[in-house]
Structure 1
Amino acid sequence: MGAAGELAAINKRVIACRKCPRLAKYIRTVGREKVKRFASDDYWARPLPSWGDPNATLLIVGLAPAAHGGNRTGRMFTGDSSGDWLARAMHEAGFASRPESRARDDGLVLTGAYITAAARCAPPDNKPSTEELASCAPFLIAEIAALREVKVVLALGRIAFDAYCKAVGAKGLAFAHGARYDIAGKTLVASYHPSRQNTNTGRLTWKMWSEIFKTARSLA
């Protein structure tokens, strides 16, 4: 089985996963109660599969789906401001076919990049528990093994950074925006997450974000 088949099999297991009762209840509740601006939308409200190019040289690891972003649209980093920041930067760096990520059927195609996350269900307050992250870890480990062409791993935020380090057995690495580490033939690059909390406060500026993707492109 090639990478595409392996990744499809992993995604099938992800979607069927019900290991974390708190998260399973939360995503169903969000999908049922919705918010006013998306009241007419049919929410995905299930664990979220990863997506992208099976032959990717860049692996992007996020935190978790957003309650009214990925949990609504059914695709990671899709339907919210974080998704738009990511799609725009990836488009500028040549990894994405368009600069917006709005829906599963919007025509966005990734070339040379694959997107995953430390947790596959939207957590309350964007804070998965240690146990919930541990339950998701085997999916990330399996994806890392399947994505044999990856040269660069971009971790968005400390939780994603720590999840990747644990998945590959790397210890003692400090998270800092722009930090780079060579691990088993791959370069791990750390970045602040493009959440509203970071982008609206200026903790993460567009220049900082764009530079991260220029670095990723040059390394990949």
Structure 2
Amino acid sequence: MENSSILPETCRLCLVRHGETAWNTERRLQGHLDIPLNETGLAQAAATARRLQVLGHGFAALYCSDLTRARQTAAAIARQQTLEVVHDERLRERHYGLFQGLTYDEAEHRHPELYRRFKAREPDFGFPGHGESLIGFASRVHAALEDITGRHAGQAVLVVTHGGVLDIAHRLASSAPLEAARNFPIPNAALNWIERTGERWRLLAWADEGHLGGGALDELPNI
């Protein structure tokens, strides 16, 4: 997205999904489990940092999930942007309860009824094992993004987070319902732009992965 002036009452967010992990390649649900980047993910983080430096947006702050895969991605960006990383656990991935550590295929095979409810995007369905409901997860993400934008009116801010958080952010900015099947990509380490003016959110640009040379994973199911 090209650099452009920001209205004094507007905050613009550049949202970045963390780079690739070994579990992404296995289509294994990570949730709150703390999985590091693999070699490809580290290279993607560096490429994203270089791309943001070239764009020259002059970001005012850098917020990040406190999980390692996001922290590693943010650290590469912070070195280029000379920004201090602010960690916020509200930017974590959704907690998938007993699904965490399973591949999507394993989860469907072992827990078919729970997987059906997950796939149907039932807003009130919470995973057994301290997992979050979709509506509870969305409320957490909304609160984090509203706080960040409220602190940075008239500025651009970077947010490094997870695929599930980006799913919620896209729906927030596009006014799409939580229950609707996903029809937009969420690649590792791509750039995604939204902004907030007052109480109005707007989707600006999504899934810019030109700096990654192709092949960035979007292993999340289209649900």
Structure 2 length normalisation: TM-score? Answer: 0.36
Structure 1 length normalisation: TM-score? Answer: 0.36
Higher-strand-fraction structure: 2
Tell me which of the two structures has the higher relative contact order, counting C-alpha pairs closer than 8 angstroms and 6 or more residues apart. Answer: 2
